[in-house]
């Protein structure tokens, strides 16, 4: 009898176990409403790439859950600005079926946005579809050719501008604008209306009246509002246009042994050292046979020289000469003399400690034997 009771107990336990198990395996119905974003031309239904500032539509179709039959009462659309989702549409209603077309515009800049479309029923159940819109820019192409070297003040120069419609969107060109910026600010320089898809133009400008760095900005816009920008700089400098030629002879001979860099004239041994910026100093004890010539010079006044063979004599400017003279290391510190000069050597000179600089280029070093007519020929700009 006891065995029968145990058998009966276990049988009931097994029946209850399987009954509970069967009940737990029964799926709980999804009571969320249905939601669909219609996919058709001009409509956004999921993640995609799209142009900037483009109108688009979202077609929302939603239905109450077939099991719960709870009315729909809300449709909310959010889009991200930065890292935060912001509600851009919030519709309130009460219906079993909902259908509406919402209109929006893409951003006016390249970015990636997250969008969320949600519907909610009266029981608080909701359904959400999320997607991303990647906004790309399709500006027209633009190239500007301009002088990339320093130029003198009040000097005419020309720029060449070419442009064309974007190869993807192919919108017509609308206008081209040029802005000019100096220390006094940025001002519009020209604004031309365009038609068609291609542009070729040449424009003549005049450099600034004083040494300055000017910034020019060219903007090409198409009919859709896409803009391509090119910025370039023009460096206006004080070119050394006052050029002279000089020569100094062996101090042991009868030629003019010195040179005046201010008055641009030769000096002799009888002239004051204060007026002689370059003076040959040949000593027979130091500079012997066969030439008896020191290929260099010295000064008896405050004029100083600095060798700068890297300097571009042809494009010498006041500003670059000052920079070359005052910059560098102690190893090339300005000196009161130049020694062992040869053709092609470049020297930057500050004349008599005044605000006057010149660039000297040695063009010839002539050595003779027996007549002391050796000489150093040079040109200089200031």
State the DSSP string of 87-119.
EEEEEEEEESEEEEEEEEE--SSSEEEEEEEEE
Q: Supply the Cα-derived Rg of the chain in whole angstroms.
A: 43
Please check whether residues 365 and 260 belong to one and the same domain: yes
Residue after which a domain boundary falls, among 136, 164, 199? 136
Mean residue pLDDT of the chain comes to 89
Burial of 138 (0-12, 13-18, 19+ CB in 10 A): middle
Neighbours of 93 (CB within 10 A): 11
- Domain housing 60: 34-136
243, containing H or E segment: strand 243-249
Please tell me the number of Cα atoms within 13 Å of 272 on its side-chain side: 3
Whether the predicted model's global pTM rises above the 0.85 cut: no
Residue 15: per-residue pLDDT: 55
Sheet of 34-37, strands arranged across: 34-37, 55-63, 97-105
For residues 158 and 145, the answer to whether their CB atoms sit within 8 Å is: no
The 10s digit of each residue's pLDDT in 197-218 is 999 999 999 999 888 889 999 9
Please check whether residues 222 and 334 belong to one and the same domain: no
The 10s digit of each residue's pLDDT in 264-280 is 999 998 999 999 999 99
Please check whether residues 207 and 88 belong to one and the same domain: no
All residues at 6 or more sequence positions from 290 whose CB lies less than 8 Å from its CB, including other chains: 369
Please check whether residues 126 and 94 belong to one and the same domain: yes
> What CATH number should be reported for the domain holding residue 127?
2.60.40.2950
- Does some domain include residue 28? no
Alpha helices in 192-236 (DSSP H): none
- Does some domain include residue 29? no
The 10s digit of each residue's pLDDT in 61-116 is 999 999 999 999 999 999 998 789 999 999 999 999 999 999 999 988 889 999 99
Please check whether residues 209 and 278 belong to one and the same domain: no
- Does some domain include residue 10? no
Please check whether residues 159 and 108 belong to one and the same domain: no
The 10s digit of each residue's pLDDT in 15-42 is 555 555 544 556 778 899 999 999 988 8
- Does some domain include residue 1? no
Residue 109: per-residue pLDDT: 86
Percentage of the chain beyond pLDDT 90 is 68
Report residue 123's pLDDT band, with 50, 70 and 90 as the boundaries. very high
């Amino acid at each position: 009898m006891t065995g029968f009771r145990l058998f009966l107990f276990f049988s009931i336990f097994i029946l209850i176990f399987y009954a509970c198990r069967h009940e737990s395996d029964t799926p709980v119905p999804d009571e969320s409403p249905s939601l669909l974003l219609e996919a058709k031309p001009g409509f956004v239904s999921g993640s995609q790439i799209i142009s900037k500032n483009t109108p688009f539509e979202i077609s929302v179709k939603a239905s109450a859950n077939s099991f719960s039959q709870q009315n729909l009462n809300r449709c909310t659309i959010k889009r991200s600005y930065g890292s935060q989702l912001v509600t851009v549409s919030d519709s309130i209603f009460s219906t079993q079926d909902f259908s509406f077309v919402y209109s929006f515009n893409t951003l006016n800049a390249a970015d990636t946005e997250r969008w969320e479309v949600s519907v909610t029923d009266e029981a608080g159940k909701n359904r959400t579809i999320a997607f991303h819109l990647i906004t790309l820019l399709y500006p027209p192409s633009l190239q500007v050719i301009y002088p990339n070297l320093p130029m003198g003040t009040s000097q005419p120069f020309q720029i060449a501008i070419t442009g064309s419609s974007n190869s993807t969107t192919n919108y017509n060109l609308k206008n081209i604008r040029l802005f000019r910026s100096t220390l006094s600010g940025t001002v519009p320089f020209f604004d031309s209306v365009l038609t068609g898809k291609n542009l070729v133009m040449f424009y003549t400008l005049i450099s600034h009246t004083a040494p300055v760095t000017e910034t020019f900005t060219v903007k090409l816009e198409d009919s859709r509002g896409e803009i391509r920008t090119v910025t370039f700089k023009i460096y206006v400098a004080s070119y050394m246009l006052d050029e002279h030629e000089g020569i100094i002879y062996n101090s042991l001979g009868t030629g003019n042994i010195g040179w005046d860099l201010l008055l641009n004239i030769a000096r002799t041994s009888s002239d004051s050292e204060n007026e002689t910026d370059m003076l040959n100093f040949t000593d027979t004890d130091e500079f012997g046979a066969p030439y008896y010539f020191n290929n260099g010079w010295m000064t008896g006044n405050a004029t100083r020289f600095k060798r700068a063979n890297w300097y571009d004599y042809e494009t010498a400017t006041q500003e670059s000469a000052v920079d070359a003279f005052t910059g560098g290391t102690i190893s090339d510190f300005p000196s009161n003399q130049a020694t062992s000069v040869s053709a092609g050597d470049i020297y930057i000179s500050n004349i008599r400690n005044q605000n006057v600089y010149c660039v000297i280029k040695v063009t010839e070093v002539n050595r003779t034997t027996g007549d002391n007519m050796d000489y150093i020929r040079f040109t200089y700009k200031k």
